[in-house]
Amino acid sequence: MEELTLTTPALLFSAVSLILLAYTNRFLSYAQLVRQLRDRYMENPTDITVAQIENLRKRLNLTRTMQGLGIASLFFCVVSMFLIYIGLQLLSAYVFGLALILLIASLGVSFREIQISTRSLEIYLGTMEKGKKK
């Protein structure tokens, strides 16, 4: 195995930071959607609104998991850099590997969340199609 340098974990910083920014933007849009769905549900509770709320709850939980895994990945990158700095090369390589695994897990959860988001849009489109056929 090649020796790990400080620049290797540092390369992950920009990628993880951008991913966390995207996750945060997604979370903020969900927060706005929650408020809209709540208002819609309070005015007229329909099965479709309930389905959208359930779907959104799953998506929010997945987004929280994605953010947690991304933050943990960034944390272990920093720990890895510190371990390199103090000369613990082998341990730093394992910690960096853990950071990469956490990033992969975060991206996997993100993929699952996108699948659920697509299903939510399909529910919404289905209601539009039913309205058009009438």
Note the pLDDT of residue 51: 79
Spell out the domain ranges in the chain. 4-127
Distance CA 109, CA 113 (A): 6
Note the pLDDT of residue 1: 58
Give the CB-side neighbour count of residue 65, counting CA atoms within 13 A: 16
Distance CA 44, CA 46 (A): 6
| Local confidence pLDDT in tens for the 134 residues of the chain | 567 888 888 888 788 888 888 888 888 888 888 888 888 888 888 887 787 888 888 888 999 999 999 999 999 999 999 999 999 999 999 999 999 999 999 999 999 998 888 877 777 777 666 666 65
Single-letter amino acid, residue 58: K
Contact (CB, 8 A) for 124 and 70: no
